[in-house]
Structure 1
Amino acid sequence: MIERGTVLVTGASGFIGSALVARLVAEPMWQVVASVRRLKQPFAEGVRVVSVGEVKADTDWSQALQGVHAVVHAAAVAHVPHVSPGEQLARLRMINVDGALTLARQAAAAGVKRFVFISSIGVNGNANTRPFTAEDLPHPAEPYAQSKWEAEQGLWQVQRETGMEVVIIRPPLVYGPRAPGNFGSLMRWVGKGIPLPLGSIHNRRTLIGLDNLVDLIVRCVGHPAAANNVFLAGDGRDLSTTELLRLVGEAMGRPSRLVPVPAGVLQFGAALLGRKAMAQRLLGSLQVDISHTCETLDWRPPFTIEAGLTRCFLLSD
């Protein structure tokens, strides 16, 4: 059990990492080391900032790991544009697998007690007909998820060899202020008042607000039952794409212009345009069962989806 101590956050200038650093700084039991590629933004007073360059197999983490009790590894690369699928996976492995395992081995050698790894629900798969659980067999369908799964397997090997505690968190799509990726695109579309043909989508998807994810990560840093466990993350309530867009519009204080078009028509059009992956994210279902997470850690998502979206747009201004 880690009741207090120093936490190294990798990817500390990123979407998740920066929010996690701010939360840890606000709690007096934690000292924070922020790992970044380059020193380009200020952090709160008291944060020790270390520039490590690229996260690779030969990265030297010795300076960042000095006096550290726990590591939260949030640094990762989600995709490499303009390369073949095979080349993309190879490059993702360099950072998401080799880089993570190098850090883990050096952390264990430095006496770090716990290593919290931010993985992806994509390790379970990218669609389902029943909610994923932590006990399901992994079925990564995309290069990013494959690299995360390989990193997870390597971390368990490090755990067996060294005894360092490992915690895996697999979040679904994360929304929050200045969110990248798909959610950021949805915000821009709704904000511009662009009519969207998504007014009749009856899928079910689990998401997690940034504040809820950060709260879960902090719980995993210190809770004794988190050691050597896999936790799926979520807000505890699933939405259709149509419901999500309506809530986004309400949080922004403007109408979401949704045109009811049958999902089958959209899927057919997406196939013709070579956008099957995007269609799957918007039209398909991906549900996550977080009961194991809640029961094991005595945890509940502290923010509702409505509150999370409201905070998202308030903090984006």
Structure 2
Amino acid sequence: MEKNLHIVTGNKGFVGINLSKYFKEKNKKIIGVSRKPDLNEVDYNQLDKKMLDGAKSFIHLAGKAHDLKKTSEDSEYFKVNTELTKTLFNQFLESECEVFIYVSSVKAVADEVDGFLTEETTPNPITVYGKSKLAAENYILSKKIPKNKRVYILRPCMVHGPFNKGNLNLLYTFVSKGVPYPFGKFENKRSFVSVDNLCFIVDELIENNKISSGVYNIADDESLSTNQLVLIIGEVVNKKAKILNLPKTFVKLIAKLGDVLPLPIDSEKVQKLTENYEVSNLKIKTAMQKNLPLSAEKGLKKTIASF
């Protein structure tokens, strides 16, 4: 009989909540794994072989996110992102569970991208977050995968969806309050991935046993500039978006002031909003032989409408 049980760590996080909802709509049963389990969840320490044997897939979403305030200890990233992943992957290998999906990040490869990021790009993470994710990837890739199992490492770019936080909220605040977006001079291209497309891919990997184990970048089909994004937000909130073309040198000067004074922008925010970061999804699209359900623009409109 086909197994219909799926184990999900980090099920209370933004992606986890959306994936759980997506799976329920597909009549898939879930066991959530959490450090503080609710009624229908289990603690990491309670996860045993019997539970894994009864599951078709094990989706590992849990991790320590990139801390922009830089208050976290480096060891904490390796404890959560690397060591926990090793433990869970070992449990998977010893069980009868078929599919293991580790949700890593493009940040395990590069913090800045020249051209397109592909799976062939040699990883060189700068942050401890990226290094801890890459260490987990390397551990998974170092193990021999039994014939009856499939193992996928997913590297999503910036994931967005209804009610998530991040730089989209900052842009939304700019536009909805009628504040002009001041970085119009910066021409950039960025990849995003809607949580709907990510859930679709995860489901496809579980169901399609013809997709080979391996590392896959996850992104929407189209890249967008931040200026385009500002215009899309204006369209959704029904306000004419204002874009200012301030000189780049002036913007960078204000950002430097924001590094030491409590201003709404600082160097990191300007970098995030204006950098190029394009990610190729060609490998996963070729493997699935299917189109993604949402275009980049449609996915972003859905997210923005939820704010």
> What TM-score do the two structures reach when normalised by structure 2?
0.87
Count of matched residue positions in the alignment of Structure 1 and Structure 2:
300
Per the TM alignment, residue 198 of structure 1 is displaced from its structure 2 partner at its CA by 2.3
Q: Which residue of 2 aligns with 1:18?
A: 17
Q: Which residue of 2 aligns with 1:299?
A: 290
Say whether the 8 Å CA contact 2:158–2:192 is kept in structure 1: yes
Task: Select 1:71's aligned residue among 43, 58, 72.
Answer: 58
**SS, match of residue 240 in structure 2:** coil
1:104 aligns with 2:89: yes
Say whether the 8 Å CA contact 2:223–2:296 is kept in structure 1: no
Q: Which residue of 2 aligns with 1:122?
A: 107
Q: How does 1:220-239 map to 2 (within 5 A)?
A: 220-239=205-224
**SS, match of residue 17 in structure 1:** helix
Q: How does 1:246-265 map to 2 (within 5 A)?
A: 246-265=231-250
Q: Which residue of 2 aligns with 1:36?
A: 34
Q: Which residue of 2 aligns with 1:282?
A: 273
1:152 aligns with 2:137: yes
> What TM-score do the two structures reach when normalised by structure 1?
0.85
Distance 2:267 2:304 in 1: 29
Distance 2:29 2:286 in 1: 28
Distance 1:190 1:76 in 2: 32
Q: How does 1:41-60 map to 2 (within 5 A)?
A: 49-52=40-43, 59-60=45-46
Matched-pair identity in %: 24
State the one-letter code of the partner of 2:288. Answer: L
Q: Which residue of 1 aligns with 2:162?
A: 177
Deviates more, 1:300-309 or 1:73-82: 73-82
Per the TM alignment, residue 211 of structure 1 is displaced from its structure 2 partner at its CA by 0.9
Deviates more, 1:265-274 or 1:143-152: 265-274
CA-atom RMSD, angstroms?
Answer: 2.6
Seen in structure 2, the aligned counterparts of structure 1 residues 161 and 144 have a Cα distance that, compared at 3 Å, is: farther
1:188 aligns with 2:173: yes
Deviations 1:194-241 (A, max 9, x none): 332122321111111111111112112222243421111111111111
Say whether the 8 Å CA contact 2:53–2:96 is kept in structure 1: no
Seen in structure 2, the aligned counterparts of structure 1 residues 264 and 228 have a Cα distance that, compared at 3 Å, is: farther
State the one-letter code of the partner of 2:35. Answer: R
What 5-or-longer segments of structure 1 have no aligned partner?
Answer: 41-47, 54-58
Per the TM alignment, residue 276 of structure 1 is displaced from its structure 2 partner at its CA by 3.4
What 5-or-longer segments of structure 2 have no aligned partner?
Answer: 260-265
Distance 1:268 1:235 in 2: 33
**SS, match of residue 40 in structure 2:** strand
Deviations 1:133-184 (A, max 9, x none): 1111112121211111111111123445897432011111112111122223
**SS, match of residue 20 in structure 1:** helix
Say whether the 8 Å CA contact 1:167–1:226 is kept in structure 2: no
**SS, match of residue 103 in structure 1:** helix
Q: Which residue of 2 aligns with 1:61?
A: 47
State the one-letter code of the partner of 1:146. Answer: K
Say whether the 8 Å CA contact 1:203–1:284 is kept in structure 2: yes
Q: Which residue of 2 aligns with 1:56?
A: none
Q: Which residue of 2 aligns with 1:5?
A: 4
Seen in structure 2, the aligned counterparts of structure 1 residues 284 and 102 have a Cα distance that, compared at 3 Å, is: same
Seen in structure 2, the aligned counterparts of structure 1 residues 192 and 51 have a Cα distance that, compared at 3 Å, is: farther
